[in-house]
Amino acid sequence: MLELGNSEAQPSGEVRFFEGDNVKFAFEAYGVSVSVTADSADLGNKLFEVANRAMLGKCKVIDPSLVKAEHEFLLSSRKDGTYDFTSVGEYTTGSGGLRETLELFVRILRIKVSQFAKNCVFVHAGVVSWGKKAILIPGNSGSGKTTLVAECVKHGALYFSDEYAVLSPDGLVHPFARALSITNGGRKWSEDGIPVETLGGRAATEPVEIGAVVLTRHEPGAKWQPERLTPGNGIIEVIPHTIPMTIDADFSLQVLKSAISRAIILKGVRGEASDLAEELLSFSNKELTA
């Protein structure tokens, strides 16, 4: 369940501005500034709390009167208990009840931050590490990367993310260790997740180099017999998963080169995730720990 938290929680720093019944606050995450206006303090507090959790505690409160935020959201309640969600300059949409509204807000916040993050590049990928090298598993939503990441964690890998590889210009991958998004009753927009500790694993806290990139998709009964790609061919395979590619291609390509050009890049179909996790562990012990 998405925890709504208690209504006492407030944006740290107490930088909130009241405009009539509305409350406005702003924060920055991964260099992206966001302002949020809600039509009640209670809703404002809940929005900040879920935003901060979605950004893994990296939301830094800023003063909305001093900074013009890059992205502005307005949330207001209707008499029937549903909400209107507005992304200023883009669209307004009805978003259902409180839970749906918070989930929509979190999803859109993640999209904005992953597209416009400063000084880092978000790639759609699962990430684990063995030894001191990370394994990057790029893939779209529903491609099975969470399943594979979860199996790797069960086999002893350190957990970085099941959704985003956050790459910095020095070529390192940083943890984005949210709760794993393992399907829960098929609920489409759920932010429900399973903490990595539940799987007996641990979350990484420090960035590491990428040792390998695994480009794979599940095919029942398939045996993992990957081909090894050149760095250039590996990078163009990762480009479709690189979120800011169409926004800042120059920076994205520089960062991909820095992060991936020394990695071993493997491409092939896989059978069961647990089998591949075992093979990757053995591969890592042989190839990445030297």
Partner 1 sequence: MNNPQYPIARKNGLVVQEVPDEVLVYDLDTNKAHCLNKTAAAVWQSCDGKTSVPEIAKFLSSEMGTKVDDDLVWLAIDQLNESSLLEAQVEPRFASQSRRDAIRKIGIASMIALPIVASLVAPKSAMANTSCQCTVATETQDCVLNAACPNTCAEPPGVCQ
Q: Which residues contact partner 1 (rule: CB under 8 A)?
A: 87, 90-91, 93-96, 104, 107-108, 111, 114-115, 123-124, 140-142, 188-189, 230-233, 235-237, 239-243, 245-246, 249-250, 253-254, 257, 261
* Closest distance of CB 73 from partner 1, Å: 12
> Cβ closer to partner 1: 4 or 247?
247
Whether the CA torsion 233, 235, 238, 242 is positive or negative: it is: negative
* Closest distance of CB 195 from partner 1, Å: 25
> Cβ closer to partner 1: 102 or 203?
102
Contact (Cβ atoms closer than 8 angstroms) between residue 193 and residue 182: yes
* Closest distance of CB 60 from partner 1, Å: 24
| Amino acid identity, position 217 | R
Beta strand 208-218 with 264-270: parallel, antiparallel or unpaired? parallel
> Cβ closer to partner 1: 79 or 188?
188
* Closest distance of CB 154 from partner 1, Å: 26
> Cβ closer to partner 1: 13 or 97?
97
Residue 33 token pair: 């500034």
The Cα 149–Cα 135 span in angstroms is 10
> Cβ closer to partner 1: 111 or 194?
111
Q: How far is CA 255 from CA 42, 108, 117, 145, 166, in A?
A: 40, 24, 13, 22, 10
In 107-163, where do the E strands start and end? 121-130, 133-138, 158-161
Phi/psi region, residue 185 (left: phi>0; alpha: psi -120 to 50; beta: rest), is left
The Cα 80–Cα 56 span in angstroms is 32
> Cβ closer to partner 1: 16 or 124?
124
* Closest distance of CB 105 from partner 1, Å: 11
* Closest distance of CB 257 from partner 1, Å: 5
